[in-house]
Structure 1
Amino acid sequence: MESLLNSTAGPPFPADLLNGSSDCPGWPPVPQSTLIPALYGVICLVGIVGNALAVYVLAQDGRARQTVANTFMLNLCVSDLLLLLSLPLWAVYYALGFHWPFGRLACKLCGAVLHLNLYASIFFIVCMSVDRYLAIVHPLRSQSCRDPRRAKVTCGVVWGLAWLCTTPTLVLRDTSHYETLGVEVCAMFYPHENWYQGLAWMKIALAFLLPLVALSSCYCVIGRHLLAGAGRGARLGGPPGPPDSQQGHGKSERPPGASVEAERGAHAAGSRRGRSLEGGGLERVLWTVAAVVLAFFLCWFPFHCLTLLELLRSHGVLRGCLLDWCVHNLTALALCLGFSNSAVNPVLYCFIGNHFRGRLGALCKGLCACLSPRGELGDQKRGSFSTRLSSFSRKLSDLKDLALVEAPGIH
């Protein structure tokens, strides 16, 4: 006998939503058939515009300007776009009272896309965080491993792992006619309750807890490293020196095999980074770093918290009307908040950066430059027509004056 336990595996199962508050009189249900489609529409519009613009700008870079960070960023934007393009179908699903009119194949694919983004996006965010850690804390030692070709291989591994985690959803999600409500639902059908519990724990661990630990660790070390460099520069009366330099005995430690030129380059890079982090630069970097972790936590913590509460409820550990109402009514809203992270990502990783904004401005100027010759050509045509008309008017006036002078008998 298959069980329908779907409230934290995607869009909730309608029977739970419509009948969940019947045991708790006085707890009104959330109007999800109107609220959720509106929220999905806003997230879809803002997210598609931001991610599409980010993909366009990143794709314009030639091979010479491809970096590890841009490779991860481009794949993250593609993952978010896949999710955002599926949201209109789920909005229709809610608006029709949990009726899926798009068929069995679309149900499986859209459910798989949700989980694919759930895993792929956070995996790419972790990869970008590790890359930033290596670039800031170990700039010289990480030059060999921070290669765009290796980054592309890493992206392939991330997509493979995300698809592997998504396979159960692709297999178990299906359509079924729900006679009580007269709708065709798109839900998860688990062969046994252990399947539901195992996949839910996997989702909490791989898509939230472990990535949160990795993000927090990377950015704590980055923040401590930047603050230590700023303090060392302040004590020396100048910009912070290279991360691996030792100022005490006038000697610098360099890894075996590193040339003097490479060491000088690292010192110069450290000095430039120190000057760039003077004043408000350091504070701006730290705030950006904090915003990355905070945005991920705020967007996905409510959803995974409700997933955990439902697991505890299924084990009989927690009970009560308030718990039932929260799981039945707030899961879909928490999922909306998690999806909004796909709209926030391009702002945090692309548009805040000066380099990205500079490239975006250059593309806009190039577009304006392409459009301006057409406008100038039209102005030239209009000006040429006006000049010819004015010349023709002057000639006509001269002919009239000549006719008046030469015509006999006119006084």
Structure 2
Amino acid sequence: MRNITTGVTDEIDLACGMSGSHEFIFTLVPIVYGCNFVIGIVGNSMVVAVIYCYMKLKTVANIFVLNLAVSDLTFLITLPMWATFTATGYHWPFGEFLCKASAGLVIFNLYTSIFFLTALSIDRYLAIVHPMRSLRLRTVLYARITCVVIWLFAFVLSVPTALIRDVHHITNYTKVCGILHPTVENSMILKKLLLAISLMKSLLGFLVPFVIIITCYCLIGRALLGARQIQKSSRSRDDEVLRMLAAAVLAFFLCWVPHQVFHLMQMLTQLSLERNCAIIEIIDTAMPFTICIAYFNSCVNPIVYGFVGNNFRKNLMRLLRCSPNGVRVSHPSISSKMSALSFRASEGLSLTAKSKASSEEK
């Protein structure tokens, strides 16, 4: 893109035209956004209600899951605006403040969601592989402090994205919520800032957390497989937990990889001195659909981390039936299966160590 004038509110010209502007995008993407909004609001609201009403914030896993659901809810409230923006042919009628706030909330949710998923993975690793040694670290106080740090760190990382967003006039009747356009004075600074934001999004928003999550789940799987050799009777429950962990990793990977790939391609085109309009057209056409897939992660999280638990489903049915508090029955937390498995896994590992020691004595 290039500037016609230096004023933000004046019209600008696009070097490659309105690339990615197709009628099927303007029709299909808003529908997907609407479905994501409804499913995500209902699912995450149920998670918040069930944890608050029945499970309480007495375990580390519950605290992280609750914060993850709140993070998704703060993002989902922006989806109607993005759906309107796409349905009207990329016309932004909501003003400059909501443009900046909505763009900032998207990146804010990206970081908070992935950071809380990473925190959950580390907590599960400590609970299953090092259940006794990690008791001092896995407390409610430390979990709440971790949540505060995650919220603040994600906010700091999302501020630059909000600052570089603005409303631009493409024509007399089309206003776009997009990044600031370079001028002669700020061209180099803006390019470096965009590169830094893109690198942080790729590294801190995907690659580093993904490596941590994969590492944690691989170590968990190795510990469970070792414990299974000692306790054959627990195989079915072990398999269920492994499937749950695999589903979490798979959902994270499938939802975010397509967007990150095209985001990397978009970053490379921004760094290129020459504009290849054919490649830009492909990226701009595919990007709305990769964003839809990424946004769907906010709908998957309640399913993976909440609805797969039997106790969560029981408490959800109590909530839907409006059961009185007076007949409340004590139920384990969302992590009850994993907590029970932590003891069996550590017991199995200790039995393995004892058997090796006894064989050496003989």
TM above 0.5, yes or no, is yes
Q: Note the 1:128-207 alignment, pairs <5 A.
A: 128-179=120-171, 182-189=173-180, 191=186, 192-207=190-205
Shift of 1:280: 2.0
Query: Where in structure 2 are there 5+ consecutive unaligned residues?
Result: 5-11, 327-362
Contact 2:100 2:165 in 1 (8 A): yes
1:309 has 2:265 as partner: yes
Q: 2:214 aligns with which of 206, 213, 216?
A: 216
Contact 2:26 2:86 in 1 (8 A): yes
Shift of 1:61: 3.7
Q: 1:82 aligns with which of 67, 70, 74?
A: 74
Aligned to 2:341: none
1:342 has 2:341 as partner: no
Shift of 1:43: 0.6
1:114 has 2:83 as partner: no
Shift of 1:72: 0.5
Aligned to 1:252: none
Contact 2:112 2:151 in 1 (8 A): yes
Shift of 1:365: 4.3
Look up the equivalent residue of 2:90 and give its one-letter code: F
Q: Note the 1:357-372 alignment, pairs <5 A.
A: 357-367=313-323
Look up the equivalent residue of 2:213 and give its one-letter code: L
Shift of 1:29: 4.4
Counterpart of 2:315 in 1: which secondary structure?
Answer: helix
- How big is the alpha-carbon RMSD for the aligned residues of Structure 1 and Structure 2? 2.8
Aligned to 1:20: 19
Mean Cα deviation higher: 168-177 or 291-300: 168-177
Contact 1:312 1:318 in 2 (8 A): no
How far apart in 1 are the matches of 2:242 and 2:149? 30
Aligned to 1:92: 84
Look up the equivalent residue of 1:194 and give its one-letter code: K
Look up the equivalent residue of 2:198 and give its one-letter code: A
Shift of 1:231: 1.2
Contact 1:16 1:328 in 2 (8 A): no
How far apart in 2 are the matches of 1:16 and 1:356? 53
How far apart in 1 are the matches of 2:291 and 2:146? 28
Q: Note the 1:221-370 alignment, pairs <5 A.
A: 221-234=219-232, 278-316=234-272, 323-367=279-323
Contact 1:69 1:131 in 2 (8 A): yes
Aligned to 1:273: none
Counterpart of 2:90 in 1: which secondary structure?
Answer: coil
How far apart in 2 are the matches of 1:32 and 1:56? 35
Aligned to 2:360: none
How far apart in 2 are the matches of 1:115 and 1:14? 27
- Residues 317 and 107 of structure 1, relative CA distance in 2, 3 Å threshold: closer
Counterpart of 1:114 in 2: which secondary structure?
Answer: helix
